[in-house]
A and B are shown apart, each in its own frame.
Chain A
């Protein structure tokens, strides 16, 4: 039960932050990416603001081994840079630029996004369902990694 309450509160902060910051408005996201148009720096402030509490949380993690609900805290970050990280991020960036939506804001805008948003979310979920197959193929194609 504690786990679910924490999940709801964390999700609530995330959704509220995406909404308040304007990141559910695709014009602000595309405005950040559009360096040759009317460039909008808001996203940098959102990223910078989000780093502050997160960095504090990572510092606290160093002194603890368990989360509040008894789950072990995540291990140190992997340092492996592979083709999947780069290829996947480039694909994601292209889609992000095309419509101005990434996974978090697409959920935060569900209640008022309209038909276009539902089409995007349906396609995104389809992509997530087929991704493991493509990921396995990439693993076979580049066995050295």
Chain B
């Protein structure tokens, strides 16, 4: 557990390198919600193969790395009501805000974008309030 932050830092460097490659290579801002959202709502179909291949890379690399790990359990709740509610909130929210942790957080804040900072403060604040409310007050998560 104490070395978790080192792996966090290494993972963060890899995430940022991916974003740098996508920006300088393809001229795109690496935002997961924008890449997925553009595919499913039809707004980004002109670049659909670029989006699909990017997502393939995201999904395939963990498969290649997983055998080196003893445990890869993502610890996802089995409460389907909570899963559906959370999925809808994440899907609608990221598209209305035009970004999520990767787009507004990583790519936005690193270019000192005021929208990136405001969005990040809002979703981290709401996430913190959500955990307090649903875990410590209501006890449902």
- Which A residues fall within an 8 A CB radius of B? 2-4, 6-28, 30, 33-37, 40-58, 60-61, 64, 66-69, 71-74, 77-81, 84-105, 107-117, 119-132, 134-135, 138
Contact pick for B26, options A68, A100, A112, CB 8 Å: A68
Complex alpha-carbon distance, A88 and B98, angstroms: 8
Are B54 and A119 in contact, with the CB atoms below 8 A?
no
Complex alpha-carbon distance, A25 and B1, angstroms: 14
Complex alpha-carbon distance, A130 and B4, angstroms: 38
Q: Which residue of B lies closest to A123 (CB)?
A: B87
A114 CB, nearest partner CB in chain B, Å? 7
Contact pick for B83, options A22, A86, A120, CB 8 Å: A120
Contact pick for A51, options B16, B75, B127, CB 8 Å: B16
Render B43-75 as a binary contact track against A, CB cut-off 8 A, 1 for contact.
100000111011111111111011000001111
Contact pick for B123, options A50, A79, A89, A122, CB 8 Å: A89
A sample of 27 inter-chain contacts (CB < 8 A) reads A7-B50, A12-B60, A14-B32, A24-B62, A30-B135, A36-B132, A37-B136, A41-B5, A49-B10, A53-B20, A79-B115, A88-B97, A88-B119, A93-B124, A94-B89, A96-B126, A97-B134, A99-B76, A100-B75, A102-B32, A104-B58, A111-B62, A116-B83, A121-B87, A123-B88, A126-B88, A128-B41
Per DSSP, chain A at the interface is: helix
A113 CB, nearest partner CB in chain B, Å? 5
**Which residues of the partner chain A approach B32 to less than 8 Å between Cβ atoms?**
14, 102-104, 107
- The 10 A-B residue pairs with the shortest CB-CB distance in the complex, in nearest-first order: A127-B91, A49-B12, A21-B11, A11-B57, A123-B87, A88-B97, A93-B126, A95-B89, A97-B130, A91-B93
B116 CB, nearest partner CB in chain A, Å? 7
**Which residues of the partner chain A approach B109 to less than 8 Å between Cβ atoms?**
47, 51
Complex alpha-carbon distance, A79 and B96, angstroms: 16
Q: Supply 8 further A-B pairs (C-beta < 8 A) apart from A54-B16, A93-B128.
A: A10-B22, A15-B61, A16-B62, A46-B9, A68-B24, A69-B27, A89-B104, A108-B61
Are B76 and A101 in contact, with the CB atoms below 8 A?
yes
Contact pick for A89, options B41, B50, B60, B122, CB 8 Å: B122
**Which residues of the partner chain B approach A19 to less than 8 Å between Cβ atoms?**
11, 61-62, 65-66, 72
Are B74 and A24 in contact, with the CB atoms below 8 A?
yes
